[in-house]
């Protein structure tokens, strides 16, 4: 084998090795460790109509999927949505955001959202979110803004299902 061929072979091997050992697609921190959240319970209360508009639901997270249940409402989350929810429902983020979200910004007759995360070891992590302007919440507690937005949208879907099922 000539030196030119050996050099070319070496370059190909180095290039191939670089492809194999190169950086992988970024994976969220919790996804790498395995997110310990197995269940998310959420409830909406308050509002102008009070108890008539209260809504609650539970998300069961398992494997790559997740399912939301609330009374007669039930839906499977897409794998992509389930993964986004796992990342958003990080107990560490809830702990950091608890103080910011607890600041007295709740408007009269506004909704309140209670969110409880249940981890694999059975521990619970609870946070009460004011039903204020989503941008205000994103500014005050950016760590949990995605989770808060998902809960707000899901409670609305459950409410609409309840109204249309009557």
Predicted confidence pLDDT, tens digits, the chain (166 residues): 434 333 333 332 333 333 333 333 333 434 435 447 999 999 999 887 777 789 999 999 988 789 999 999 999 999 999 999 999 999 988 887 876 665 555 566 788 899 999 999 999 999 888 776 666 667 767 888 899 899 999 999 999 999 998 7
Helices (H), the chain: 3-21, 29-33, 79-88, 91-101, 134-140, 145-165
**CB-count burial class (<10 Å; 0-12, 13-18, 19+) for 29:** exposed
pLDDT score recorded for residue 74:
97
Contacts of residue 158, Cβ cutoff 8 Å, sequence gap at least 6 = 55, 57, 68, 70, 71, 73
| Backbone phi and psi for residue 75, each to the nearest 5 degrees, phi listed first | -155, 150
Let me know how long the chain is: 166
For 127-158, letters b (16+ CB in 10 Å) and e give bebbbbeeeebeebbebbbbbbebbbebbeeb
Cβ count within 10 A of residue 16:
10
Is 120:36 a contact under the CB 8 Å cutoff?
A: yes
Nearest to 43 by CA among 143, 138, 159: 159
């Amino acid at each position: 084998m000539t030196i030119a061929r050996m050099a070319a072979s070496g370059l190909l091997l180095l290039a191939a090795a670089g492809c194999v050992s190169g950086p992988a697609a970024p994976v969220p921190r919790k996804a790498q460790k395995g997110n310990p959240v197995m269940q998310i319970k959420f409830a909406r209360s308050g509002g102008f109509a009070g108890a008539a508009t209260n809504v609650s639901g539970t998300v069961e997270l398992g494997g790559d999927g997740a399912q939301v249940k609330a009374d007669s409402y039930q839906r499977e989350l897409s794998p992509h949505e389930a993964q986004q929810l796992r990342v958003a429902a990080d107990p560490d983020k809830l702990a950091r955001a608890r103080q910011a979200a607890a600041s007295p910004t709740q408007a009269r007759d506004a909704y309140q959202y209670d969110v409880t995360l249940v981890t694999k070891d059975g521990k619970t992590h609870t946070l009460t979110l004011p039903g204020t302007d989503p941008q205000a919440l994103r500014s005050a507690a950016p760590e949990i803004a995605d989770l808060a937005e998902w809960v707000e949208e899901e409670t609305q879907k459950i409410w609409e299902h309840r109204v249309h099922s009557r």
